[in-house]
Each structure stands twice: as structure tokens, then as C-alpha cells.
Amino acid sequence: MKTDFLKYNDQFIDGPLVLTPQTFFDDRGFFFESWNERSFINTLKENTKFFDLNSSITFVQDNQSLSKKNILRGLHYQIKPFDQGKLVSCIKGEIFDVIVDLRKESKTFGKWAGIYLSEKNFNQIWIPSGFAHGFYSLKDQTRVLYKTTNFWNKDSERTILWNDPNINICWPTNGLSPSVSNKDKEGSLLIEIIENELF
């Protein structure tokens, strides 16, 4: 499994990892392991700067979404004790996947990073708890699959406004106005989250 780190400008964001599984191609198509617990945990342990060796990761829920082109979902997170880590894949189509660091003690607090996930590049992103997450669909019939380390909890869910000017995410919309749900349109600004300690 190939591993890479996400960056904000030239600075690494501690914690999240880009994972690319080894893929085997032949004239029939391809094969790869989309989930292997042992390989995943070993990958995290090899990056000890980003992973507590005494902790463990258990996924309890799988979610899938289907999106038309130009759909934007996010930025979502859950507060403790229902905070979630996520392992995100795009199994059909393509997305621009975005995280925002909400860990108050982090050097990159309030910063964002993004990566393209698609059915062709097989990339996955591991997002530890403490990050908001969202994505923009670049193709019709795009399907996203993500595993979570905690169950969804309505009362714990929070949303940051996708176009918060203080975060200034460079969404690859090519000048289009993305389609956003009413709930996401009513997301909070990061400054409001900080002032009201909505972590």
C-alpha cells in the first residue's frame, strides 16, 4: 500500500493519510484489496508521528452516496463523544475531497487540504476525528463509499459553511455555482464555531 501525506501549502497536516492500494491488472480487468484491517493498522503504525501506537481503529458503519455532477456536500463533522474517523473512497466517477483541521492544538488549525479521489486512481483518504469533511462531485453518477469509526448521531452533527471566506477552499467548480443542500447552506462560519466552542 502506497502512503502519502496531505499538505496545506508546503506544510504537512498531521494525521490524515492518502492510501493507494496495490492494484493488479490483467486482460480481465483488475483486483485490489479495498479494505484490509491488518494492512491499514500497520500503515498507521509505520507513521508513528501521526498515530498513537496504543490506540486502535474500529469501523462501525459504512455509508454510500450517489451524486450528480456539480453537487457539493459538506463540510460535516460530529462533536465528542460521537466524533468520527473516516476512510473515504470514490468507487465510481470522481470527487474533490476536502478536509478542514478543527483540532485547536494543531499547527494547521483552520487550514484545509484537498485531494482528487476517483474510480481510476483508487486513492483513499484516512481522516482522523478532529476534521470537517466535504466533497465536490466532478462527474454524474458519482458514488462515494466511506467507513466511519462512530455511528451517525443527529444531535452531534455540525456543518461548516462550504464557502467560508476565512477558510477559502479552492473548490474546482470552473466558475459554476455548486448545488448545495439547504442544510449545508445554513452551515456555520469557522469564527462562529470557535466563539461558541462547537467542537
Q: What's the whole-number mean pLDDT along residues 53-73?
A: 90
Q: How far apart are CA 2 and CA 88, in angstroms?
A: 16
Catalytic residue numbers read 76, 146
- Mean pLDDT check: name the lowest of 52-61, 75-84, 118-127, 174-183: 52-61
pLDDT of residue 26: 85
Structure confidence at residue 32 as a pLDDT band (50, 70, 90): confident
* pLDDT score of 55 more than 80: no
pTM: 0.91
Dihedrals phi, psi of 107, to nearest 5 degrees: -65, -20
pLDDT of residue 49: 65
* pLDDT score of 70 more than 80: yes
**Cell digits of residue 11:** 506544510
Q: Which residues pair with 171 in a beta bridge?
A: none
Which is it for strands 2-8 and 94-101: parallel, antiparallel or unpaired? unpaired
Q: What's the whole-number mean pLDDT along residues 6-32?
A: 84
* pLDDT score of 99 more than 80: yes
The set of residues, in sequence order, having a beta carbon less than 8 Å from that of 190 and lying 6+ positions away, is 100, 110, 160, 164, 166, 167
Of residues 73 and 52, more confidently modeled: 73
Element (H, E) at 147: strand 142-148
Q: Which residues pair with 26 in a beta bridge?
A: 29
Spell 134-149 as b/e; 16+ CB within 10 A means b.
bbbbbbeebbbbbbbb
pLDDT of residue 78: 96
Count helices and strands (H / E) in the chain.
3, 14
